[in-house]
Amino acid sequence: MALKGFDHLVVRVKDIEAGIATYRDGLGLELERTDESEALGIKQAFFQLPGGGFIEIVAPTDPDSAVGRALEKRGEGIHTVAMEVDDLEGTVSAMRDAGMQLIGEGGPQVFVHPKSTHGILLQLTPRS
C-alpha cells in the first residue's frame, strides 16, 4: 500500500470562463481541453503541467450538484487532491483496516473522506 505522488488537483470556481482566464492567462498554464458533465452538473477545464500531473477547475452548472453545494458552503478553493496509487485495491483495503472513512469503494473513483484526513477530500487514482 502506498500513495506514490500527486496526480492532480481539482479547484472549485464560480465561473468556468473566469477560472480559465486565471489559470491560463494569470498563472501561465496550458489549457488542454474543456468538458461538461450533465451527470455531475459541472463544467470542467484541464491544464496539463509540463512536469506531469494536471490541474482541473470545475464550476457548477447545477447549484444542487456536489460542486454547487460545496461552493455555496465553502466558497472557491481546492475541491479534491488526487494522488496516484500503484495498487488501488490493496491501498483501499489497508486504509479501511486503519480506520479511514472511504467514499465510493468498488466504484471508478475512490476517495478518503475529509474527516479522516484533517480536511482533504483525497482521491485515490490508479497509476495510468
Residues lying near a second copy in the complex (CB under 8 A):
1-6, 9, 11-14, 18-19, 22, 25-29, 49-53, 57, 75-78, 81, 83-84, 91, 94-95, 98-100, 112, 114, 116-120, 122
Q: Give min distance, CB of 25 to a second copy, in A.
A: 6
Amino acid identity, residue 22? T
Nearest residue to 81 (alpha-carbon basis) of 61, 100, 53, 107 = 53
Q: Cell match 470545475: residue?
A: 58
Q: Toward a second copy, which CB reaches closer, 26 or 39?
A: 26
CA atoms of 82 and 60, how far apart (whole Å): 19
Q: Give min distance, CB of 32 to a second copy, in A.
A: 14
Within the chain, strands assigned E span: 3-12, 30-37, 42-48, 54-60, 77-85, 102-103, 110-112, 122-126
Q: Toward a second copy, which CB reaches closer, 4 or 72?
A: 4
Distances, alpha carbon 55 to alpha carbons 23, 58, 101, in Å? 9, 10, 25
Q: Give min distance, CB of 30 to a second copy, in A.
A: 9
Q: Give min distance, CB of 91 to a second copy, in A.
A: 7
Q: Toward a second copy, which CB reaches closer, 38 or 97?
A: 97
Q: Toward a second copy, which CB reaches closer, 52 or 63?
A: 52
